[in-house]
Amino acid sequence: MRKSVMLCCLLVLPTLDAQNHLTGTATQRYFNVVRRNLETSADVMPAEKYSFRLTDGQMTFAEWLIHATQRNYSDCAVLKSEPVLAAEKQAAKLKEKAEVSKALKDSFAYCAEALQSLTDQKAISSDPVSYAFLHLVVHNNEIYGNIVGYLRVSGIVPPSTASRAAQKSTKKN
């Protein structure tokens, strides 16, 4: 009997520990990384390049960041079961580096707060919640993929590349 109880405990403990494996992994591995990459990109791009377009018809660098900001507010309002904040609509009016960068960072802070209370069960509780959760990570990575070209053409090493180079340098020393 004692062995059966111990065996059950050994089987149940990892399950309890992994109850939020999906949301925890997505937050740590994907959300936090893309958040850092986009926020750092906003910081390193010179203010005069915020109106830069790679080609006619593409969004400006600022418009990409504003788009991320708006979607962050929309998606994370769903995760928090709240109406979309007014900041989502106000973001469309922003133009200058300081205000665009601050709005982006504020939207990521709002999302980080939403993710703190998100469990795996809630993440799969409905189609809109699941979509918002996945969209938050996937969409921001798509945006980062687009703005990497803006950074490189401007002579700036993208944050993800700079981070890997720094890690290699640290390992050599």
How many domains does the chain contain in total? Answer: 1
Q: Is 82 strand, coil or helix? A: coil
- Under DSSP, the state recorded for 59 is P
Please give the residue range of the domain that contains residue 105. 21-167
Q: Is 117 strand, coil or helix? A: coil
126 within some domain: yes
The CATH number of residue 132's host domain is: 1.20.120.450
pLDDT value, residue 162: 81
Mean pLDDT (whole number) for 13-42: 81
Q: How far apart are CA 70 and CA 62, in angstroms?
A: 12
100 within some domain: yes
Q: Specify the range with the lowest mean pLDDT, choosing from 13-22, 91-100, 101-110.
A: 13-22
Report the greatest alpha carbon distance in the chain: 74
Q: What distance lies between CA 172 and its chain's CA centroid?
A: 30
Q: How far apart are CA 154 and CA 54, in angstroms?
A: 10
85 within some domain: yes
4 within some domain: no
Amino acid code (one letter) for 16: L
pLDDT value, residue 19: 62
147 within some domain: yes
Pinpoint the alpha helices (H) of the chain: 2-17, 21-25, 32-44, 61-79, 86-90, 97-116, 120-123, 127-153, 159-172
Mean pLDDT (whole number) for 33-61: 97
Q: How far apart are CA 97 and CA 72, in angstroms?
A: 18
pLDDT value, residue 169: 57
Structure tokens at 169: 């340098």
Structure tokens at 29: 């591995």
133 within some domain: yes
pLDDT digits (tens, 9 = 90+) for 125-149: 999 999 999 999 999 999 999 999 9
CB 130, CB 121: distance < 8 Å: no
12 within some domain: no
Q: How far apart are CA 104 and CA 61, in angstroms?
A: 13
Q: Is 172 strand, coil or helix? A: helix
129 within some domain: yes
Count other C-beta atoms under 10 Å from residue 155's C-beta.
8
pLDDT digits (tens, 9 = 90+) for 144-167: 999 999 999 999 999 999 866 556
